[in-house]
Amino acid sequence: MKNIVQQLREAQNLTQTELAEKTGLSLRTIQRIEAGNVPRGFTLKTLAKTLEIAPEKLTAAQEPLKTDRAKLINLSALMELVFPFGGVIFPLILTYKTRDEKNKALGKSIVSVQIVLWGLLSCLLIACPFAQKFLALQYPLFLVVLLGFILAKLWIVILNGISLNQNGDLHKYFKWNYL
């Protein structure tokens, strides 16, 4: 993934050496910035002026999104396996104690998915005895539903965790949330 300095440099058809000469910075400094170091002070102002971009946009685009809190909220959805309603309550508490708006939005999306899963499970568990009697099954159907619910929840948490690690966003979410 290219950072913003490299993208702007290449858009202006400059080599790293040419950019270093144009800015008066060393080639090594340009290489470090393109490798992920965040420019500050004089370096930031000089690069922004040369690349014709606002300094804030230059640093904001390079700072990595911190999704550690969202990862914790996503993982806490598995508390369902230990405590009843834990997959909704614990992520909800962690979401509302979060100060970062991006992580709070991700947390609300995670909780919304958990609420829908709980609603679906409740409806299925209510229907299980009727379906079991109608189908004349000898084994308890609700166990199949619970196992499927656990596997679905685990699958969603794993997919969201992988997606948060790779691109800082959720894989499974709704376009709306209930919070």
- The per-residue pLDDT for range 41-68, each reduced to its tens digit, is 888 899 889 988 888 877 765 445 678 8
Q: How confident is the model at residue 123 (pLDDT cuts 50, 70, 90)?
A: very high
| pLDDT > 90 fraction of the chain, expressed in percent and rounded | 37
Q: Model pTM? A: 0.61
Do the beta carbons of residue 72 and residue 161 sit within 8 Å?
Answer: no
| Long-range Cβ contacts of 154-160 (<8 Å, 24+ apart) | 154/78, 156/77, 156/113, 156/117, 157/74, 157/75, 157/77, 157/78, 160/74, 160/110
Q: How confident is the model at residue 175 (pLDDT cuts 50, 70, 90)?
A: low
Q: What number is the average pLDDT over the span 154-164? A: 90
**Does the pLDDT of residue 1 top 50, yes or no?**
no
Instruction: Provide the 10 A C-beta neighbour count for residue 158.
Output: 13
| pLDDT > 70 fraction of the chain, expressed in percent and rounded | 92
Residues whose CB is less than 8 angstroms from the CB of residue 17 and which lie 6 or more positions away in sequence, other chains included: 27
pLDDT in tens, 90-122: 999 999 998 888 888 888 989 898 888 889 999
Alpha carbon 8 to chain centroid, angstroms = 26
Alpha carbon 26 to chain centroid, angstroms = 36
SS3 18: helix
Instruction: Provide the 10 A C-beta neighbour count for residue 86.
Output: 16
Token reading at 1: 């993934």
Do the beta carbons of residue 113 and residue 75 sit within 8 Å?
Answer: no
Q: What value does the mean pLDDT of the chain take?
A: 86
SS3 82: coil
Q: What number is the average pLDDT over the span 126-145? A: 91
Do the beta carbons of residue 59 and residue 44 sit within 8 Å?
Answer: yes
Identify the pLDDT of residue 89.
92
Identify the pLDDT of residue 3.
79
Token reading at 44: 């930031």
